[in-house]
């Protein structure tokens, strides 16, 4: 299933050069050594959550599937590699025929994760798996960081809708991915039309201060907007004097005015004053939208304010201080030869400095307490304990090179809401703390584990 199958209007271009050079030079050396076709297992995980965060959010999986499906070395790309002398001719010949034919399992997109969680497991020959490292990490690290920030913001906002408005604060392509990740994390719409075009996310937007400044009088600007967009539009009321603007807005639009937007000042104080003024003027149904460098803490501080919706930009698209999820892609098991039946041998980095890893092909399950609330993330190798069989987290995403795990974005968004709801209530606290549930390891026969 591709983008066309999901009624998405934009195809993904080749992703073959979204990689680091050493992925290709490792392939060249492995081909010469005769080890390139050894069966290998790579896993994506993070050793720790960003400081003070209680949980992470898996986002970007759908984009990873597109990237894997479109990882192709065409003649132009091969010509570039040949001209630069990056790899030799035998390696170029191998790249010309590259197609990922292995299997990928992973946490379903929208699920939460914790330190050590095997978020993605990539299996195949070393040659085909190693090339995917950079593009997979690039997508998952960015999107998961944005989705985690969005999740915290949506938890703080409660039932009040959130609008993603960060396109002008990041790279133009990153902005589209950020909109997608924000939608997964609980945002309801975006201002970015490219995100709406590619992913079907609802889009919103009316006017900026420039539109008011364009006109000789604020009343003229409001009248022009009402004439164009109707009385249900949102008028920006903080270009000059807020109280005067609110009065003018209701005079022009009447009590049917859809909303007013406040983009500066003491938002808590101004929101109360505007609500009181709107009610006095009979515009009791007019909503209040606030913007202006909001983050989860500012949103939480406005919980008691008469605010109906929030618009968030900079802090969202930068991960609210944590722009990466610090995920890594590590070889955890490999065969001792290129024979198809050769058993897997667990491998792991053992250096000091906090960069160690746990070897072996892993499964993951979430143990629940008697009330159905998550109490531990259990990660293991070997057989899955009977009591955890029905609680396994990894699902098939790619089978024999064919994508099997692509799904609609709304299903991912709903999954995240359900996964977050199953965490202990302390997960919603914005105060710094440890992961909301601990990670437990169960050891078995790490090289021979089969299934999920």
pTM for the predicted model, two decimal places: 0.93
Helix axes 267-280, 242-253, angle to 10 degrees: 40
H/E segment holding residue 42? strand 39-46
Nearest-angstrom CA–CA distance, 59 and 78: 31
Predicted pLDDT at 67:
96
Predicted pLDDT at 356:
76
From 353, 325, 451, select the one nearest 393 (Cα to Cα).
Answer: 451
**Dihedral (CA of 412, 418, 313, 191) sign:** positive
From 415, 414, 421, select the one nearest 373 (Cα to Cα).
Answer: 421
Say if residues 118 and 46 touch (Cβ distance below 8 Å): no
From 386, 372, 382, 354, select the one nearest 441 (Cα to Cα).
Answer: 382
From 41, 37, 8, 4, select the one nearest 394 (Cα to Cα).
Answer: 41
Domains contained in the chain, CATH given:
21-131+326-442 (3.20.140.10), 170-318 (3.20.20.70)
Q: Which residues of 396-431 are buried (b: 16+ CB within 10 A; e: fewer)?
A: ebbeeeebebbbebeebbebbeebbeebeeebbebe
Predicted pLDDT at 349:
83
Say if residues 361 and 345 touch (Cβ distance below 8 Å): no
Q: How far is CA 251 from CA 54, 202, 226, 240, 296, in A?
A: 48, 30, 11, 17, 35
Nearest-angstrom CA–CA distance, 438 and 378: 8
Strands 234-236 and 120-125: unpaired
Predicted pLDDT at 450:
40
Which residue blocks in 215-332 are alpha helix, DSSP H? Answer: 218-229, 242-253, 267-280, 296-301, 314-317
- Non-local (6+) Cβ contacts of 122 within 8 A are 41, 42, 43, 44, 102, 103, 104, 129, 132, 136, 329
Structure tokens at 162: 């959130």
DSSP one-letter string for 335-361: ESSS-TTPPEEE-----SSS-----S-
From 450, 402, 397, select the one nearest 104 (Cα to Cα).
Answer: 397
Nearest-angstrom CA–CA distance, 363 and 385: 11
- Give the Cβ contact number of residue 97 at 10 Å: 8
Q: Which residue has the tokens 């909001």?
A: 294
Nearest-angstrom CA–CA distance, 436 and 425: 9
List the beta strands (DSSP E) in 135-221: 162-164, 189-190
**Residue-by-residue pLDDT tens, the chain, 452 positions:** 444 445 555 555 789 999 999 999 999 999 999 999 999 999 999 999 999 899 999 999 999 999 999 999 999 999 999 999 999 999 999 999 999 999 999 999 999 999 999 999 999 999 999 999 999 999 999 999 999 999 999 999 999 999 999 999 999 999 999 999 999 999 999 999 999 999 999 999 999 999 999 999 999 999 999 999 999 999 999 999 999 999 999 999 999 999 999 999 999 999 999 999 999 999 999 999 999 999 999 999 999 999 999 999 999 999 999 999 999 999 999 999 999 899 999 999 887 666 778 899 999 999 999 999 999 999 999 999 999 999 999 999 999 999 999 999 999 999 999 999 999 999 999 988 999 999 999 986 544 444 45
Strands 327-335 and 344-346: antiparallel
From 139, 109, 113, select the one nearest 54 (Cα to Cα).
Answer: 113
């Amino acid at each position: 299933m591709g983008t066309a199958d999901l009624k998405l209007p934009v195809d993904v271009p080749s992703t073959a050069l979204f990689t680091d050079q050493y992925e290709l030079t490792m392939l060249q050396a492995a081909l010469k050594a005769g080890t390139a076709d050894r069966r290998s297992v790579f896993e994506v995980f993070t050793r720790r959550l960003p400081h003070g965060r209680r949980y992470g959010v898996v986002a970007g999986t759908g984009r990873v599937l597109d990237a894997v499906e479109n990882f192709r070395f065409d003649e132009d790309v091969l010509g570039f590699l040949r001209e630069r002398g990056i790899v030799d001719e035998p390696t170029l010949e191998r790249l010309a025929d590259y197609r990922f034919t292995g299997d990928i399992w992973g946490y379903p997109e929208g699920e939460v994760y914790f330190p050590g969680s095997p978020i993605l497991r990539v299996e195949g020959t070393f040659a085909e798996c190693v090339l995917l490292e950079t593009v997979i990490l690039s997508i998952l690290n960015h999107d998961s960081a944005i989705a985690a920030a969005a999740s915290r913001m949506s938890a703080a906002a409660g039932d009040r809708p959130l609008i993603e408005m960060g396109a002008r604060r990041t790279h133009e392509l990153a902005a589209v991915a950020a909109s997608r990740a924000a939608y997964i994390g609980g945002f309801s719409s975006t201002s970015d039309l490219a995100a709406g075009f590619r992913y079907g996310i609802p889009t919103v937007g009316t006017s900026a201060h420039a539109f008011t400044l364009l006109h000789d009088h604020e009343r003229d600007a409001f009248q022009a907007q009402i004439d164009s967009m109707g009385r249900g539009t949102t008028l920006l009321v903080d270009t000059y004097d807020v109280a005067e603007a609110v009065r003018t807005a209701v005079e022009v639009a009447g009590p049917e005015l859809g909303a007013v937007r406040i983009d500066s000042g003491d938002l808590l104080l101004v929101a109360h004053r505007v609500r009181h003024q709107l009610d006095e003027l009979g515009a009791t149904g007019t909503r209040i939208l606030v913007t202006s460098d909001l983050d989860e803490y500012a949103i939480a501080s406005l919980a008691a304010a008469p605010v109906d919706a929030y618009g968030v930009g900079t802090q969202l698209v930068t991960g609210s201080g944590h722009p990466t999820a610090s995920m890594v892609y590590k070889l955890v098991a490999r065969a001792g030869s290129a024979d198809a039946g050769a058993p897997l041998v667990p491998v792991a980095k053992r250096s000091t400095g906090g960069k160690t890893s746990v070897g072996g092909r892993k499964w993951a399950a979430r143990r629940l307490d008697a009330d159905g609330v998550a109490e531990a993330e259990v990660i293991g190798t070997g057989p899955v304990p009977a009591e955890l069989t029905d609680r396994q987290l990894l699902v098939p995403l790619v089978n024999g090179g064919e994508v099997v795990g692509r799904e609609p974005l709304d299903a991912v968004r709903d999954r995240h809401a359900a996964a977050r709801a199953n965490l202990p209530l302390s997960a919603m606290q914005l105060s710094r703390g440890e992961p909301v549930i601990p990670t437990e390891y169960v050891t078995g026969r790490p090289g021979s584990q089969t299934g999920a």
